[in-house]
Chains A and B, each alone.
Chain A
């Protein structure tokens, strides 16, 4: 079944800065269930409390309960989950999994970036357009127009020897010739064009920030690609150097 890109994007627009629809907040080594936290923290949904991810004021993020009361946003002083510590937030891949599932992709839901990345690279429904490439190489692939909304961006870190973050490509939400293409992700929550107003994040382009040892893998869901003639298909498979 091909990825329903619009469904994935609609889900992302609704949950990019909120706890996912399954009521789960993934943390290092596990997950919190929102229902449990509602009970423990006295934040029932019936009283208008909803769970969102906000800046913690120190460059990180926390999950909190908020509600609108008397026209103003009220926030509980205690956080549901915080940035650091043994139970620090780690919801990026869980969120991307939920986006793809909303788009109809059959996958084993996981919170591990490496697991999701490798599974999608190996999937028969995808083509890996860039495998651990530089930002410049990845940008060439994106500018070629093949990489589409709903496709997966996986971030590899050489020092860890694995993928440590995932995001979903949302196309060029800002627009204009200088828009390199953006992403949506959790931990830290981003949606290109919306992040700055929410938590001040301005690095919601697909490549995030520069780091030593960082490389990018672009995984394209290909079931909805136009058909290729048999003659052309004979010489396409394999790896091509871009640029």
Chain B
């Protein structure tokens, strides 16, 4: 699957300029500069029984803001930092999901989730970069390949920023 996807990407890079077709801006590769306007956000909502409610904002320069609200060890605002290569890795995960071309239909009772059970977590992600922006609502009761990709992005943001230290209050052993 990866091989055929790569072939398709290379073909589109070669073919589309020849065809004069418009191409969506590529997200920055490993050595490319991260656009100054890049902002990535993750918001997790409540659930039955009580789930961590928090927001994370990542800026292009690596600054991270944590805003813990409920069911977390650290409530309030904390400033942290991640490295450029970590931001690029996050952007790559958005690209792998073709995030900018997804329809926002995976929320509670969204078009793709008409039968979603009540009481589960609603998560929202936002990506702003290179003049484009997209927000996706992802209700945990919504299943399928796209929700799985959204879950992977959300999990990667959590892991990259290491939100578990603020959710649990425990620093993982090195």
A interface, CB within 8 angstroms of B: 28, 55, 57-61, 83-86, 88, 90, 155, 157, 160, 164-165, 187-188, 199-203, 208-209
Contact = CB atoms under 8 A, between A and B. Distances in A.
Interface SS of A by simple majority: loop
B118 interface: yes
23 contacts: A28-B50, A28-B70, A58-B107, A59-B45, A59-B116, A59-B119, A59-B120, A59-B122, A60-B46, A61-B118, A83-B46, A84-B45, A84-B69, A165-B49, A188-B119, A200-B117, A202-B115, A202-B117, A203-B118, A203-B119, A209-B117, A209-B119, A209-B120
Contacts, number: 68
B66 interface: no
A86 B70 contact: yes
Contact of B48 (A58, A85, A165, A202): A165
Nearest to B139: A59
Contacts of A203: 117-119
A202 B117 CA distance: 6
B18 to A, nearest CB: 46
A239 B49 CA distance: 28
Instruction: Give the 9 A-B residue pairs with the shortest CB-CB distance, closest first.
Output: A59-B108, A164-B49, A188-B119, A203-B117, A201-B118, A84-B46, A165-B49, A188-B118, A58-B108
Contacts of A199: 118
Nearest to B115: A202
B109 interface: yes
A64 B91 CA distance: 42
Interface string B117-128: 111111000000
A206 to B, nearest CB: 14
Nearest to B120: A59
Contacts of B115: 202
A17 to B, nearest CB: 12
Contacts of A83: 46
